[in-house]
Structure 1
């Protein structure tokens, strides 16, 4: 734990300002340069909320497959994404077997009045009548995660000396797109023995700006990649949320911060009944936001051309869909 490149920062110290905030900013920059990941404490999220949401999600995932199939959607849709539909390793060009998981998904509902845009980025959520608590709890959780994501973007910008009016994302996320997944990783007795190269989630980077993860640790849990140490179990603290940056934020930083490469191990033989549920919030920007990468000396690469957030994300979502 102490040797991990993934550092822990306390958001209450960032909010306090002064020297404490400057220490946090230095840690954020260092951790993101090394691994693209952080652990974040002091976030203020009610600890009861993820516990209640997990319980409601487990109730849904425990329903018969014929019932869940009523809510089935493809990758990027709103509803249930069943086993065998997604292979995150495809995003790296690796033809891996499908990921060993199922997902319930919701997304941003702030439609803009353009049918083509709204149908893709702001599609209606689907809520199962069999588990009515899921809607209220999931909606509360995603609202908290959106507010936290905006704060994290401000913190990350300040960590580069770009605070307040200099924050380049300040006016690019008023109506940001986002997706939230509840991932269920079933036990070995349900999935059967993994195929060669098969994971609960294959090695990949996320696609947007920041990802927030509330996770349950396990033998078949999250691993993070760094150039210095290769693959290693992600550090865990019960009061912390795990945060990583995605491809869009790597691009914006001019390569200073690599997108956090990660994977979730398959069910392990020594823990055959391990059954985990992770809560994940993927944040982006306005669908039409133009992202102009930071040039040196802040950025680490020669100036890169601007990209449009929605185009950038959609290309990557299409790549991980099986079939």
Structure 2
């Protein structure tokens, strides 16, 4: 049988690890290979439940991609920025405000960060149905690999984690999977992101914040760990802590929609991106992500009939004005189209707010 010859891709050279002693978050690490057995899933479910209930983040290893496969996907991700001209990117820019979707390019200077400073972040998002949208010619040869990556993230990683989280809610293992099916119509997407260094003046005006503290919109977010220290999470004690790099590891967190469905039992934790420490300044930061979204027509109301755990939890609070929950599609479009583009209600505590379909959305400076 002839060997598969992959198309050439320019190698991406990542930054060296930071040399500073940073205040890292103590995130649990789960071995996804253990989820192959019922006994293993029962063991992991306890760890995942406790992590997502208190911190909203956890790490994963042995996810099924080799270091070589992961390295190649970072190479492909970087090609979306270094291998496509500025003029060509313009032809594939997404209409974020008009559609409430991130599919396509988001170019730099789109979001307002603070004090008149806009972002220096580019990203390119590809729907899990990779044939749904046109791709720049540079990326088209890699379409089969991007498709495999999206499917692997959704089926082998996200669905595995959803089984664990369902067990934590004392529900059947596939209960949450039925709300985030692979290739169901929706906005689950692979996303390549590149953060570019900023001027000292911009850093001073934004207090070194590159992306304000926020929660994600969807179900499960999958971040493939990379060495540039910039991601921070807000700990349960109210302190910003750095997220440490894990070779060929994953950083997993839940979004608003899963928090709503779980009645607040699981937490969509606030996280932000800041200027890297001095030893890594001047390096761009390439990110490889997969965002698994709850299906568009799902009403984001607590699953109280399906879970006694959720039923007990929702007695403590009501996230929606008047108790009326939006559908995933309604909430996603409103959050996406307005993020970084509308005036926020300024808070004296450094927390700015807006209301999206009756939900108070917070932005942390």
Q: Do these two structures clear the TM 0.5 threshold for a shared fold by scoring above it?
A: yes
Name the SS of the counterpart of 2:178 in structure 1. coil
In structure 1, which of residues 84, 87, 98 is the aligned counterpart of residue 109 of structure 2?
Answer: 84
Deviation for aligned residue 1:223: 0.7
Q: Structure 1's 176 and 201: CA in aligned 2 closer, same or farther, altered over 3 A?
A: farther
Contact 1:96 1:202 in 2 (8 A): no
Cα distance between partner residues in 1 of 2:91 and 2:340: 20
In structure 2, which of residues 31, 56, 67 is the aligned counterpart of residue 36 of structure 1?
Answer: 56
255-264 vs 221-230, greater mean Cα deviation: 221-230
Deviation for aligned residue 1:185: 1.3
Q: Structure 1's 21 and 149: CA in aligned 2 closer, same or farther, altered over 3 A?
A: closer
In structure 2, which of residues 176, 180, 194 is the aligned counterpart of residue 173 of structure 1?
Answer: 180
Cα distance between partner residues in 1 of 2:24 and 2:341: 37
| Unmatched tracts of structure 2, length 5 or more | 1-21, 343-365
Name the SS of the counterpart of 1:14 in structure 2. helix
Contact 2:80 2:192 in 1 (8 A): no
In structure 2, which of residues 156, 162, 165 is the aligned counterpart of residue 153 of structure 1?
Answer: 162
Q: Structure 1's 48 and 32: CA in aligned 2 closer, same or farther, altered over 3 A?
A: same
In structure 2, which of residues 11, 22, 30 is the aligned counterpart of residue 9 of structure 1?
Answer: 30
Over alpha carbons, which structure has the higher Rg? Answer: 2
Cα distance between partner residues in 1 of 2:191 and 2:178: 26
TM-score in terms of structure 2 length: 0.73
- Verify: 1:201 aligned to 2:211, yes or no: yes
Q: Structure 1's 213 and 312: CA in aligned 2 closer, same or farther, altered over 3 A?
A: same
- Verify: 1:301 aligned to 2:314, yes or no: yes
| Unmatched tracts of structure 1, length 5 or more | 111-122
Taking only aligned residues, the RMSD between alpha carbons, in angstroms, comes to 2.9
Partner in structure 2 of residue 185 of structure 1: 195
Name the SS of the counterpart of 2:309 in structure 1. coil
In structure 1, which of residues 205, 214, 217 is the aligned counterpart of residue 224 of structure 2?
Answer: 214
Name the SS of the counterpart of 1:71 in structure 2. coil
Contact 1:212 1:281 in 2 (8 A): yes
Deviation for aligned residue 1:3: 7.9
Contact 2:217 2:255 in 1 (8 A): yes
Deviation for aligned residue 1:41: 1.6
Q: Structure 1's 270 and 188: CA in aligned 2 closer, same or farther, altered over 3 A?
A: farther
1:8-27 matched pairs, under 5 angstroms: 8-18=29-39, 20-27=40-47
Cα distance between partner residues in 1 of 2:179 and 2:115: 35
Q: Structure 1's 276 and 3: CA in aligned 2 closer, same or farther, altered over 3 A?
A: closer
Cα distance between partner residues in 1 of 2:139 and 2:175: 41
Name the SS of the counterpart of 2:280 in structure 1. coil
Q: Structure 1's 51 and 85: CA in aligned 2 closer, same or farther, altered over 3 A?
A: same
In structure 2, which of residues 235, 257, 265 is the aligned counterpart of residue 226 of structure 1?
Answer: 235
Deviation for aligned residue 1:183: 0.5
- Verify: 1:316 aligned to 2:343, yes or no: no
Contact 1:223 1:232 in 2 (8 A): yes
- Verify: 1:140 aligned to 2:133, yes or no: no
Q: Structure 1's 134 and 37: CA in aligned 2 closer, same or farther, altered over 3 A?
A: same
Name the SS of the counterpart of 1:102 in structure 2. strand
Cα distance between partner residues in 2 of 1:258 and 1:78: 26
